Structures are given as C-alpha cells and as structure tokens.
Amino acid sequence: MLKINDLHVHYGGIHALNGITLEVPENKIVTLIGANGAGKSSTLKSIMGLAKTSHGTIQFNGEEITGKPTTHMVSQGLILVPEGRRIFSNLTVEENLFLGSYLRKDKAEINKDLNWVYELFPRLKERLWQMAGTLSGGEQQMLAVGRALMSKPKLLMMDEPSLGLAPLIVKDIFNIIKEIHRKGMTILLIEQNAKAALEAADYGYVLETGIITLEGPGKELLVNDQVQRAYLGDHK
C-alpha cells in the first residue's frame, strides 16, 4: 500500500534520514521503532509532505506522492496522528472531530464514522461541548485518534501515541489500535515503547540515526538479541 524507496531528508545541515526503504502492506500493522532523534517523526512528516524530501520516492497505492501538498495526502486517505496529539485546544471536542472530516462530502458516511468514534471512545461523547484543551492527556490522545478516524484513513499513521501517558492509558490506547486494525485498517505505528509496538505489529523496522538497521516480523524482532539489548532492556 505504502512504498518508500531510498528516502533522504535534510533539515538545514542535518541529514535526518539517510536513505530508508520500507513497505506497509494492506491490512497490516507495521511499526517503526528507534530511539529519540533516529528519524522516526521525520519519516512520517516527509510522507505527509510536511518535511521536504531531498531524495527518494514515496508511493501510495501505486501513485507517486513525493512532493505533493499535504492536502493531497489527506484526500488520498493518508492520515497522521501527530506526535504530541496536536489537538485544537481552542475548539470543542466536537469541532475537532468535524475538522477530521474537513475534506469529506459524504454526510451519511461521516455520521457513521462519528458514531464509530463515539463507540470506541465513549469518554469523548460525554465531553463533546468541552474545549479540547481541558481534556486530560489520555483523552486528548483519544481525540487525536478519533479526529484521524473521521478523515476516513486508508493508512493510519501514528506518531508516539503512548508518549507521556500513564501505563493504564497506554494499554487502552494499544487495545484501541488493535480494535481499529481488526476493522481492516492498515496502520503504520511509530513508538518508543518498543515492546508494546512489536507485540501489536505484524512487521517491524528498527531505525537508527537515519538508517534502517533491522527488520522482520514483530514476533521475531521481540526475541532478537540486538533489539532486546537496545530497546527492551536485557533481562536474561
């Protein structure tokens, strides 16, 4: 579904991505793990057209999308839940959700998706009229995911959805991710919480300072020595 080939990204003088190649097949959860500053967010930003790609190609459903404006990516169903949630704190919860469906015209379908989001996150339904900025961190993450679902994603990308949340909420979030996936959603998940991410994922990539150093099915990476040492803490 998504194919990235030899992607390079520069920020000023920094070479953030040094030629990464990865693929997200349909109906799978793929995860990209790595330490802070490895280039995980840069990857997502360049897919969305928020960061300039200096070299390489990004293909989505066979279409070359490298260098297209972000609006185009969104209209094609390429949706990102950004790092740090980035909800609109000055808008109500309901308005945030409506903005998710900004480009959509299919009213009946929008209402169906809205009900689905309420089903997934009953807490949001109780707080529709509240300003989004008054929600707790976990609720804000739920809103960010709900807002993304309102965009009718074909590929849902999540950047550190568990960042800064209490362990109990993290568990909730991962359950939601699995639940969304069961409905047939393709997901590209970026996480520092490598254990939870690899457990949920069908396939994983390990990113280190702008290059992919390891890849394989999630279950295999979980027991891989190198991954265990670097990201899971060696308990042997």
Partner 1 sequence: MSLQTFLQHLVNGISLGSLYALLAIGYTMVYGILRLINFAHGDIFMLATYIAFYSVTTFLLPWWAAFLIAIILTALLGIILERAAYRPLRSSPRISIMISAIGASFLIENLAIVIFGGRPKAFPIAPIFSKILVVGDVSISIVTVIIPIVTAIALFILNYIVNKTKTGMAMRAVSKDYDAAKLMGININYIISFTFGAGSALAAIGGILWGLKYPQLIPLMGIMPGLKCFIAAVIGGIGNIKGAVLGGFILGLGEIAIVASSPALSGYRDAFAFVLLIVILLFKPTGLMGKNSAEKV
Nearer to partner 1, 83 or 215 (CB): 83
Strand, helix or coil for residue 21 = strand
50 lies in the binding site for partner 1 (CB under 8 A): yes
Axis crossing angle, helix 137-149 with helix 167-182, rounded to the nearest 10: 10
- What are the angstrom distances between the C-alpha of 177 and each of 4, 20, 172, 199, 220? 23, 25, 9, 12, 20
- How far is the C-alpha of 34 from the C-alpha of 1, rounded, in Å? 23
We find the least distance from the C-beta atom of residue 124 to partner 1, in angstroms, to be: 17
Provide the minimum distance between the beta carbon of 77 and partner 1 in the complex, in angstroms, as a whole number: 11
Q: Establish if 134 lies at the interface with partner 1 (CB under 8 A).
A: no
Q: Applying CB under 8 A, does 52 fall inside the site for partner 1?
A: no
Please answer whether residues 101 and 132 qualify as being in contact, where contact means their C-beta atoms are separated by less than 8 angstroms: no
User: What's the min distance (Å) between Cβ of 50 and partner 1?
Assistant: 6
Q: How far is the CB of 30 from partner 1 (least distance, A)?
A: 20
Decide if residue 146 touches partner 1 (CB under 8 A). Answer: no
By CB under 8 A, tell whether 128 contacts partner 1.
no
Distance CA 158, CA 208 (A): 19
Sheet order of strands, 53-60 included: 14-24, 2-11, 53-60, 63-64
Rounded distance, CA 221 to CA 34, Å? 13
Best CA proximity match to 134, nearest among 165, 89, 185, 69: 89
49 vs 204, which CB is nearer to partner 1?
49
CB of 117 vs partner 1, minimal distance in Å: 15
Q: According to CB under 8 A, which one of 27, 90, 134, 175 is a site residue for partner 1?
A: 90
Of 8, 15, 99, 228, the one binding partner 1 by CB under 8 A: 99
Which residues neighbour 161 within 8 Å (Cβ) at sequence distance 6 or greater? 81, 141, 144, 145, 173, 177, 189, 191
From 23, 95, 199, 215, residue interacting with partner 1 (rule: CB under 8 A): 95
- Applying CB under 8 A, among 17, 22, 24, 87 the residue interacting with partner 1 is 87
Binding to partner 1, residues 165-204 (CB under 8 A): none
Q: Which is nearer to partner 1, 6 or 109 (CB)?
A: 109
Task: Return the number of the residue (6 or 63) whose C-beta is nearest partner 1.
Answer: 63
1 binds partner 1 (CB under 8 A): no
What is the C-alpha separation between 171 and 174, in angstroms, rounded? 5
Q: Which parts of this chain interact with partner 1 (CB under 8 A)? A: 48, 50, 70-71, 74-75, 79-80, 82, 86-91, 95, 98-100, 102-103, 147, 151
